[in-house]
Structure 1
């Protein structure tokens, strides 16, 4: 195994948590990108399964243990980074349906992302106009698409 490997592609696991007609999202704010909503989750660490990464990231960001269910989508994403000059990071996003405990109330976890301001339930009928990041999530999260796993290719 090659030591000190710096991957050019980063795997990220994201949680799609839907309950009572709403989806659990992070609210992020930054001077560069304004207010945007994102799925909980994040990067896979060395020797970690995608499911273990998702459990760890959700505990850090939303303060609870999730039950990871089905892989529903895989997509490439070129994430803009706040660098000078601006760069992008190539990530492969793995979206899993997940379940939170019945008594879960949205809250920031013990180690939220640096731009994370809040965790909340967004009614599914408001997805169409929500400031999602990445924007391509709208297509992924639509009720008709959510039913079948597939590789999306690049999302913007």
Structure 2
């Protein structure tokens, strides 16, 4: 059987004193360090999340600006192409008008030359006819 004597009370008191000492010197500081570590980890995780959101926002802004720049570039290309087509049309039209004017000028010159040649031939036609008739008939007409 267990004898209850003073040594039992001394042991109980020793264990209680040891628990109080361990609590104040070991358990509380370790718990405090763990809580501080948890707080720091939470702060770091919060910062990581904030930086992640910020990075996502920056990427989204970059993509939006890139899309805007591409759209602006496409609009500028389309505008320049339309200007080039219009300039090409104007040049073709001017060239066509110039060619038509030159054609009319040449036709007028040719008509004048034909008319001059016709008048010369008409004037000489009678003498040619007489000359041909003389050669065919072999005598003067």
Short-chain TM bin: under 0.3
TM-score (norm 2): 0.13
Q: Please identify the structure whose Cα radius of gyration is greater.
A: 2
Q: Which structure exhibits the higher relative contact order, with contacts defined as CA atoms closer than 8 Å and separated by 6 or more residues? A: 1
User: Which has a greater percent of strand?
Assistant: 1
TM-score (norm 1): 0.12
User: Which has a greater percent of helix?
Assistant: 2
